[in-house]
A and B are shown apart, each in its own frame.
Chain A
Amino acid sequence: MALNRDFIGRAYSSPAPYEVSRLKIKEFAAAIGDSNPIYRDSEAAKAAGHPDVVAPPTFPIVFALAGAGEGLNDPEFGLDWSMVVHGEQRFTYERPIYAGDQLLCTSTISEIRSVGRNEFVTVRGDVTTVDGEPVCTSFNVIVERGGAK
């Protein structure tokens, strides 16, 4: 079943601020196998000129889709998660993410297109601090296999 195009342009906000912790950054760095001390040792991060430990570039995936879930999971949208694969991902960064950041994400279903039998959904996530400072933007393309038939 085709996805409901009425959802294009709908925006969803993260339910609560995401608080970035040193431990979560350390856990994420360990999971991707990256031993860079800047991800786990605040003294090493400070020596490199950062205020605290830095998050790896792909870290925003941990929270960037939290708000969009409300829209993507809406039965009216018609998405069959068992057929979903990740098609593309891009991040643009205004600044690095640091331990201690309190982040909000507004997710917008920006595009839905059919390519062959598949549906492509682009979700844009605008990440800011709770004070409104822009931090990064996530562009996530998910593919529903067979969804366009």
Chain B
Amino acid sequence: MGATIKWDEVEQGQELPAAEYQVQRVNLVMYAGASGDFNPIHWNERFAKSVGLPDVIAHGMYTMAQGGRYVTDWAGDPAAVVDYGVRFSSMVVVPDDDNGATISVSGIIEEKLPDKRVIVVLTARSGDSRVLSKARAVVQLV
């Protein structure tokens, strides 16, 4: 058990490789079922527009999960994440077409902590919007 990244081999300010995640309507339907969040703004375009949204939007937790996936893929072990928090600053609009939306995630090592931990700050964008802010994870390296 444990991360595959060595604390000694990372530096403060180091950028992590960026990644892109596609999200289509079917992903939101699956996420609704898996999470139990069936709010129709995440799958029903007619309802979403009736409450003033531009279209169906992704669950905030779906976007947070993509950031989590980004960090666990980098660290090499989901158990290495000891703290993970985000603010939902903008919505991910998911059109009903063959492409859906793209969530682009990048990260930087903001600080090296004692006990071989690091703070990774994430940036997540979709279209022109920053969809997560104050997104940070504390990761236990080896």
Question: A31 to chain B: which residues have CB within 8 Å?
Answer: 27, 30-31, 33-35
Contact with A along B53-78 (1 / 0, CB 8 A): 00000011110111011011100011
Is B114's beta carbon under 8 Å from chain A? no
Is A78's beta carbon under 8 Å from chain B? no
A72 to chain B, nearest CB (A): 14
- Which interface class (under 10, 10 to 19, 20 to 34, 35 or more) fits B? 35 or more
Is B86's beta carbon under 8 Å from chain A? yes
Question: A85 to chain B: which residues have CB within 8 Å?
Answer: 60, 88
B108 to chain A, nearest CB (A): 19
Q: Is the interface of A mostly helix, strand, loop or mixed?
A: mixed
Bound-state Cα–Cα, A87 to B134, Å: 11
Q: Which of A87-101 contact B (CB under 8 A)?
A: 87-93, 95-96
- Which interface class (under 10, 10 to 19, 20 to 34, 35 or more) fits A? 20 to 34
Question: A88 to chain B: which residues have CB within 8 Å?
Answer: 85-88, 134
What 10 additional pairs, Cβ within 8 angstroms, besides A62-B35, A88-B85? Answer: A31-B33, A32-B62, A39-B78, A49-B2, A56-B65, A57-B78, A58-B61, A89-B88, A90-B86, A91-B83
Binding site for A on B (CB under 8 A): 1-2, 21, 27, 30-31, 33-36, 51, 59-62, 64-66, 68-69, 71-73, 77-79, 81-88, 134
Binding site for B on A (CB under 8 A): 24, 27-28, 30-34, 36, 38-39, 48-50, 54-58, 61-62, 82, 85-93, 95-96, 139
